[in-house]
Amino acid sequence: MKVFKFGGASVKDAAGIKNVYDVLQKAGYQDVLLVVSAMGKTTNALELVIKNYFEKSAELNASVQEIKKYHNQILLDLFEDENHAVFAAVNEHFSDLEYFLAHNKSPNYNFVYDQIVSMGEIISTTILSYYMNFMGIETQWIDVRNFIKTNNNYRDAEVDWELTQKNIATNIKTKSLNITQGFLGSDENNFTTTLGREGSDYTAAIFAYCLNAESVTIWKDVPGVMNADPRYFENASLLNQISYREAIELAFYGATVIHPKTLQPLQKKEIPLHVKSFINPLLKGTVVSKGSTLEPFMPCFIVKREQLLIPLSSIDFSFIMEENISEIFRLFHEFKIKVNLIQNSAISFSVCVEDKFGNFKDLLAILSKTFKVGYNENVTLYTIRHFNDAAAQTVSEGKTVLLKQLGTETMQIVTKEN
C-alpha cells in the first residue's frame, strides 16, 4: 500500500478537489490510502468559532454560518444536483458541531478546541470521498478516530502505538482507495484529540508504519523540499535526495515542508518519503530515504518568525547551574512553550522560544520571582544547516543581530528588524 497526504492548500476549493482526482489518475489510486487536511483556511475559521464560543460572542452563529457557506459553495461547484447525498452528509456533520456548541459543559479550552476544530477534516474527507465515487473511483471513507488512539493531552496528543497498530493492521482494507483524516485521533473515552497543528503528515507516517507501506507521498504546492522557503529567499533550490537524518535535522529546526514527528516512524521501517508537487505530479520531487545524501550539497535556511528571545540572569550574581536550568525547562514544559535555541554563561541563560499557546505572560510572573528576566518580542530565528560566510551574511544583512550560535554544521542567528 502507498500513503498519500494532501494538505489544505490542495483541497481549498472545487478546482483543488478536481485536481486531486487528476493527480490520482496520473499517480495511481489502487491500494492507496489518502490522508487529507481541512479545506483551505478552515482550521483558522474554526478557531474563530472557538474564540467566539468562549467569549460568548454574538458572532458565534455567524462564524459557523461562514464555514457552512464556504463548504456549500464547494459542493455546488462539484455537484449540480442539490439532492445529491453529499449535501445531507455534510449538513449532518455541521449539525454535530452545532449540537456540541449548544450542549457542551466542559470549560477545558483544549478539550473544546479538539472537538470543534476536528470538524474541518471530517467534512473535507466526506466531500472528497463523495466526489471520487461520483467520478467513478470507489472509495472507503474511514473515521481516523476509530484507528489512531491517543492519551487525553488535547491539542498535542501522544499516540498509543500498540493499540493504534492493532486497529490499523486488522481493519484497513487494501486494494481499494481509502480516504481518512489527518491530524486527528481519539482518547480512551472516544473524545476527539489532535496531534498538533500540521499533524496530518504525522498521520500519514502512522498509517504507513502500521501498514508496512511501500512509501509515503506528501503532495505540496512546491516542487519538493527546497533549501529555503521561496517566500523569504530568492533562488531557492530543490533538494533531490536527502537522508532521514538530514530531514530530521531540518524538521527539528523548523522546516515546514515536513512535520517534525513524521520522520521517526518512517525511518524505523525504512519507508521512503516523497515530497511532490500536486501542480506537476509527474515531476520527481524530493525523496527522503536511507543512505541518501544531501544533493546538491548547499546551505539550507530555516526561518521561524514571531519568536521571543528571553535572557535570564541570577538576581544575586550567583552561577546558573544545572538545578536552575532544570527548573527553567520544567516551567517551559508546563506552560507548553517550545525552546528553539539555548545559550548560557556563568550568570546568564538565554533562550529563543515559541509561545504558540499564549502562556508567556503567566510564565514571566513566575520566573521573575527567581531571576532577572528580559525579553525581546517578535524576533526572527534563522537556522542555517551547512552554513558558510555568504549564507550568514544573507540572513543578517540590514538587521540587528541579537544572538549568534555556531556548531559544526549549523548556525543559528536571532535578529530584529532595524
Which residues does the annotation place in the binding site for ATP?
5-8, 231
304 strand-pairing partners: 381
Please choose, from the candidates 177, 126, 171, 116, the residue with its C-alpha nearest in 3D space to the C-alpha of residue 147. 171
CA gap 49, 62 in Å, rounded:
9
Nearest Cα neighbor of 30 from 165, 143, 130, 139 is 139
Chain mean position to CA 235: 25
Secondary structure, 3-state, the chain = CEEEEECHHHHCCHHHHHHHHHHHHHHCCCCEEEEECCCCCHHHHHHHHHHHHHCCCCCHHHHHHHHHHHHHHHHHHHCCCCCCHHHHHHHHHHHHHHHHHHHCCCCCHHHHHHHHHCHHHHHHHHHHHHHHHHCCCCEEECCHHHCCEECCCCCCCCECHHHHHHHHHHHCCCCCEEEEECCEEECCCCCEEECCCCCHHHHHHHHHHHHCCCEEEEEECCCCCECCCCCCCCCCCECCEEEHHHHHHHHHCCCCCCCCCCHHHHHHCCCCEEEEECCCCCCCCEEEECCCCCECCCCEEEEEEEEEEEEEEECCCCCCCHHHHHHHHHHHHHCCCEEEEEEECCCEEEEEEECCCCCHHHHHHHHCCCEEECCEEEEEEEEEECCCHHHHHHHHCCEEEEEEEECCCEEEEEEEEC
Determine phi and psi for 149, rounding to 5 degrees.
Answer: -105, 140
Binding residues for substrate: 43, 121
Contacts of 297 (CB under 8 A, 6+ apart): 386
Annotated binding site: 5-8, 43, 121, 231
CA distance 291 to 310: 38
